Amino acid sequence: ALYQCSHCDKKFSRNSVLKRHMRTHTGNKPYKCSKCDRACSQKSNLVSHMRTHAGEKPCQCSECDNAFLKKSAPINHMRTHTGEKPYQCSQCDKAFSCNNQLLIHLR
């Protein structure tokens, strides 16, 4: 059986996953950080956040001594070594190494 979201019509194979997804619509963030005011909609996000308080940075760059909290960060960081700039502005053709830089440029 598939469980369908009543807000956006996405479908999920498990009811528990639908319930977790529903928090994106309701804004419910039941997982509270014990060290600051941060609250998360998913437990895994709180676990990742707690690493910031512990100073953990488990994702190491293979080219230099930089380490990162999130798995996606080394991917963006590697572009500083390779010079890759895959995010291009459609207005002026300027290119950026990460999507956030492009979004800031477009403002």
What confidence tens digit (pLDDT) does each residue in 63-102 have?
898 888 877 788 888 998 999 999 999 999 899 998 889 9
Positions of CATH 3.30.160.60 in the chain = 3-54, 59-106
Q: Which amino acid makes up residue 14?
A: R
pLDDT digits (tens, 9 = 90+) for 4-38: 999 998 999 999 999 999 999 999 999 999 999 99
This prediction has a pTM of 0.53
Evaluate if residue 53 carries a pLDDT over 80.
yes
Q: Does domain 3-54 have CATH number 3.30.160.60?
A: yes
pLDDT at 28: 93
* Topology classification of domain 59-106: Double Stranded RNA Binding Domain (3.30.160)
